[in-house]
Amino acid sequence: MKTPPSRDEIEISIFGPGIGEAIVIHVGDNEWLIVDSCIDRISRNPIAIKYLKDLNVNISSSVKFFIVTHWHDDHIRGASTILGECEGALFACSGAIGSDEFIQFCLSGRGALMESSGLEEFNDILEILSSRTDDGRMESRGPQWAIADRKLLHLPKKGRCFNVEVHALSPSDAAMTLALREIGQMMPKAGVPKRRVISQTPNHAAVALWVIIEDLNILLGSDLENHPPNNLGWKAVLISQNRPAGRALVVKVPHHGSSDAYNRDMWNQMVLSDPIALLTPFASGVKPLPSTADIGRIRKHASRIYCTGRPSGWHPPRRDPSVERTIRETVRTRRLIHGRMGHVRVRFKAGEGLNNPRIELFEQAFAVE
């Protein structure tokens, strides 16, 4: 697990502990991208940082790009720590949260006990960005606002093993308008008691990404969902004339494989016929994801499906028997949502072609049969 990829090896690593996910990509030449963040419960560090340190990567100079695809708790935990450590990385986040309303929303929550961990992280991110305003490097100030059809990163092949590009496929203009309206509705109002922010709205503002590493296309679906209007979610991505051409061999299945995020055309038009599908579970919510039905739906498009863990079945710590008995008498349902970290690693060696990936599963990760 601790063997770093060679200079001409591409790696896609996906981590998920039950709630939250993070993706780490080696684009060649010891240069790395990080997408989203979650915390390793044992080390209490962002898993991306822990993993790269385990590989002896110089994080401050080797991580070139870090994006938070949306501000929900399960994608942003530990993001400020990553930003703080990755001093050379271009930071990007959804254009929908690049609004004065959202910044005001974050700052209102500071110290007011209304914070979710997502807002708390974003506050810390703002502080880091603010502290970098005097260092003269525009890229350290960021963020690069991700909106549909915008190229977020280009590392040209000159002197490198591969040409690397990262494109945002979402959010669409309509999604940004909608997200701003939702933020407006969540804004605190005078006279209303303070409470924690619970965001249960659809993930309109999530950034789906298209990553090109030479001949390899990777589709990272984030939590982007599928909605009836053509100008939102996957439908907006599909009708766009400006998204990058080609089909993806590796897919991070959107929104943990949920039916809300399924779009058949996405699979038929943007993904190769036998892709490598990567999944993370989501153990919170009314229904843990992915369900058996979700897997069955994905199975129609992909025979190689790998998941970082199962969405349930973890055990809480051993507690006093009388406590356990009282809990059982009080609650109707109960589920531990934060299990052990799982890790799926896909590596492609230059010269061996894209047909011979090396797929490794660590900890709780498993191949879906």
Positions in the binding site for another protein (CB under 8 A): 19, 41, 95-96, 98-100, 103-104, 107-108, 110, 112-114, 126, 129-130, 133, 138, 141-142, 144-145, 147, 173, 176-177, 180, 188-198, 200, 283-286, 316-317, 319-320, 322-323, 325-327, 329-338
Beta strands 271-279; 304-307: pairing state:
parallel
Of 320 and 369, CB closest to another protein: 320
Q: How far apart are the first and last CA of the chain?
A: 23
Q: Which is nearer to another protein, 232 or 278 (CB)?
A: 232
Write a three-state SS string for 40-59.
CCCCCCEHHHHHHHHCCCCH
The minimum distance between CB 296 and another protein, in angstroms, equals 25
Least CB distance to another protein at residue 295 (A)? 21
**Nearest CA among 333, 330, 334, 336 for reference residue 316:** 336
Residue 106 CB, nearest approach to another protein (Å): 8
Q: Which is nearer to another protein, 5 or 118 (CB)?
A: 118
Q: Please list the residues that pair with 366 across neighbouring strands.
A: 307
Choice between 194 and 358, CB closer to another protein: 194
Opening angle at CA 339, ends 116 and 303, nearest 5: 110
CB of 227 to another protein, least distance (A): 18
Minimum gap (Å) between residue 212 Cβ and another protein: 22
Give the Cα-Cα-Cα angle 67, 71, 73 (nearest 5 degrees). Answer: 115
Q: Cβ of residue 108: shortest distance to another protein, in angstroms? A: 4
Tell the residue number behind the tokens 């051409």, with chain if given. 245
Asked if residue 47 lies in contact with residue 36, where contact means CB atoms within 8 angstroms, the answer is no
In angstroms, give the least distance from the CB of 255 to another protein: 18
Nearer to another protein, 130 or 273 (CB): 130
Selection from 35, 44, 332 nearest residue 211 by Cα = 35
Count of beta carbons in the 10 Å neighbourhood of residue 194: 10
Could you give the 3-state DSSP secondary structure of residue 299? helix
Q: Which residue's CB is nearer to another protein, number 264 or number 287?
A: 287
CA 139 centroid distance within chain = 21
Query: For residues 2 and 332, which CB has a smaller minimum distance to another protein in the complex?
Result: 332
DSSP for 101-157, please give it: HHHHHHHHHTTTT---HHHHHHHHHHHHHHHTTTSS-HHHH-PEEE-TTEEEEEE-S
Select 128 or 250, whichever has its Cβ closest to another protein. 128
Q: Cβ of residue 281: shortest distance to another protein, in angstroms?
A: 13
Q: How far is the CB of 30 from another protein (least distance, A)?
A: 27
> What does R_g of the chain's alpha carbons equal in angstroms?
20
User: Could you tell me the smallest distance in angstroms from the CB atom of residue 316 to another protein?
Assistant: 6
Provide the Cα torsion 182, 211, 52, 47; round to 10°. 30
Contact present, 26 and 65 (Cβ < 8 Å)? no
Our CB check for another protein shows the closer of 237 and 298 to be 237
- Of 193 and 228, which has the nearer Cβ to another protein? 193
DSSP state of 37: B
